[in-house]
Amino acid sequence: MSTRIDMIGIFSEDLPQMVAFYRDVLGFASDWDGEGPYAEFQNDGVRFAMYERKQLPGLLGRAPGFTTGINGTFELAIDLPTSADVDREYARVIAAGGCEVYPPRDEPWGMRSSMVTDPEGNLIEIGSWNKGS
């Protein structure tokens, strides 16, 4: 049997704000109607969802801890077709409310990479392995 990740979930302090950011700024479609503690986004392959943090103690049977500031525990990575796309998308996301971590740069491992955070400090890499324009 081979193991496969089926879903990535973010536990959110402010679900409406986070759904709006991922839907309106990053472009992930969602049919969440603003009701309930769970929202799922359309994403091919691995499911992508959010759940309200305040629901977790009841689910887990204990209170979890959360980071403040930039969450260095994980990143979400968006792969774009070209390096020029990275520069454009980074500028667009920052203008639309993303928080800058570092601007687009060429990495020694061969990709064009930039990093922003969502409103709750989760890292989002915007990058491309294709150097074409």
d(CA 58, CA 54): 8
Give one DSSP letter per residue of 44-95, joined into a string: SSSEEEEEEGGGHHHHHSSPPP---SSEEEEEEEEE-SSHHHHHHHHHHHHH
What six digits make up the tokens of 33?
A: 């109607």
Instruction: Quote the pTM value.
Output: 0.92
92-106 pLDDT, tens digit each: 999 999 999 999 999
Q: How confident is the model at residue 130 (pLDDT cuts 50, 70, 90)?
A: confident
pLDDT value at 132 more than 90: no
pLDDT at 22 over 80: yes
Domain annotation for the chain: domains and CATH numbers: 7-60 (3.10.180.10), 71-128 (3.10.180.10)
